[in-house]
Amino acid sequence: MSTPTNAFVDFKEVKSRVGILQVLERYDLLGLLKRSADRLSGPCPLHQGTNPTQFRVSVSRNCFNCFGTCGRGGNVIDFVSLREGISFRDAALLLQEWFMPDKVTNRPAGTAPRQTKDASPRPSSQPLQPPPTVADDQDEEGENPPLSFALKALKPDHPYLTERGLTEATIASYGIGYCARGCLRGHVAIPIRNRDGALTGYIGRWPGDPPSGQGKYKLPKGFRKNREVFNIDRVVHADSSDPILVVEGVFDCLHLVQLGFQATVAILGSSLSPRQETLIREAAGAKRPLYLLFDADEAGRKGASEAAMSLCSSSIVRIIDIGAYQPQPELLERSQVDALLKQYGALNP
């Protein structure tokens, strides 16, 4: 290997200066991919898949994800690392050699740049240009203010809560209960807290099938549930490198917490909002992988795919298809979750 192993490499700089299109072009893969606006899709070049839409790329976010067998995803360095079967660090060094000649100063004289198994060194036909920055969607990120009231005297012993499998300890710890009066009268109320632990709203669930013409859920007036990530207050402050499990619903989340997966959050629906994306990114940082366990239905699959594309530029993201076991995470047994995490979690076998 020509590149000194102790060479300094600034991963952040490599990620920001090398565009995913440059990398795909270098491997002669662009012809296999269909482009529409910011997205490219095609068969997965990492597991040599044949499904024509399983491999997806976001140009603006500078990342890729496979929604098929290999389930791999990540940034430009991840791609080269997987494609070449080399370490993340070696992949970054290789990208420097290919696209950042100004950075390659300490190669010993007389040594050639590294040859790779399916791309001989050649100059890129594209100018070095940083990928466009992701649109600033701060405006859509307005937060819910802390609630000016708290529902009093929620009854923790309503049979619906046991029917949904919640234990007494969970009910008490999360302050859940049946609301006999107030804005969520007739509903089971689940308190929603922001990342700092302040109460910002409730999810009201009718216990059982609601009367005709009435929805299953009710929210306090003005409360926007897509600005909150349930359980984020507990996950964000935990000093841990455990994966974070992301699910759709509150009951899915509480069920997985009860199974022992404390680092589970719920996005209170099947589509991830910009505000939720920010919250989950912050909680994950660079070291905690994100496993998306959405419902095994069309909305869940679509939601997981979109969420993965949003989150994969900063975190390792895996979509875990639970469909072989259950339609919803709330129904999974501990052994099934373990099997799924083992199946998808072996990042470096």
Least distance from Zn ion to the Cβ atom of residue 68, Å: 5
Which of these, 66, 57, 63, lies nearest to 78 by C-alpha position? 63
32 or 100: CB nearest Zn ion: 32
Report the C-alpha gap between 302 and 293 in whole angstroms: 12
Which of these, 299, 280, 296, lies nearest to 332 by C-alpha position? 296
With contacts defined by CB under 5 A, name the span among 44-52, 82-90, 231-239, 327-335 that binds Zn ion: 44-52
Report the C-alpha gap between 121 and 133 in whole angstroms: 28
Least distance from Zn ion to the Cβ atom of residue 346, Å: 14
71 or 131: CB nearest Zn ion: 71
Beta strand 63-66 pairing with 177-178: unpaired
Residues 6+ apart with CB under 8 A from 43: 32, 49, 50, 51, 52, 54, 55
Give the interface size with Zn ion as a residue count (CB under 5 A).
Answer: 6
Least distance from Zn ion to the Cβ atom of residue 155, Å: 49
Which of these, 155, 106, 156, 147, lies nearest to 3 by C-alpha position? 106
With contacts defined by CB under 5 A, name the span among 68-76, 215-223, 282-290, 291-299 that binds Zn ion: 68-76
Residue found by looking up tokens 């909002």 in the block:
273
**Can residue 32 be called a binding residue for Zn ion (CB under 5 A)?**
no
Least distance from Zn ion to the Cβ atom of residue 109, Å: 40
Alpha helices in 18-129 (DSSP H): 20-26, 76-84, 88-99
With contacts defined by CB under 5 A, name the span among 65-73, 147-155, 184-192, 275-283 that binds Zn ion: 65-73
Interface with Zn ion (CB under 5 A), residue from 46, 151, 236, 320: 46
Interface with Zn ion (CB under 5 A), residue from 39, 47, 164, 301: 47
**Can residue 82 be called a binding residue for Zn ion (CB under 5 A)?**
no
Residues near Zn ion, by CB under 5 A: 44, 46-47, 66, 68, 70
